[in-house]
Amino acid sequence: MKLNINIVSVHGVAPSASGERKFPDNTSVSQLIELLDLPVEDVYAIMVNEIPAPPDTRDDHVLVDGDKVTIFPPIQGG
């Protein structure tokens, strides 16, 4: 299946992952994070088709062809 991935900012990690990419059918949100090789602790928020995918739903949330996934890093600063 094809997903439209938008990584807002992950400290330079996987900037080439943004854009349309192919993934195996029945990939969950949690599996997507692993497939993109993103550290789980660096993933703050995920939106699927502009709807939040909270951490407690990511194992069961199966993505479908054409989904738009936006990944945000944790907010840091001082």
What residues does each domain of the chain span?
2-72
Q: How confident is the model at residue 23 (pLDDT cuts 50, 70, 90)?
A: very high
Assign domain 2-72 to its CATH architecture: Roll (3.10)
pLDDT band at 9 (very low <50, low <70, confident <90, very high): low
The 8-class DSSP code of residue 3 comes to E
Structure tokens at 2: 């094809």
- Contacts of residue 22, defined as CB under 8 A and 6 or more positions apart, other chains included, come to 1, 2, 3
Looking at the whole model, is its pTM more than 0.75? yes
Beta bridge partners of 62: 28
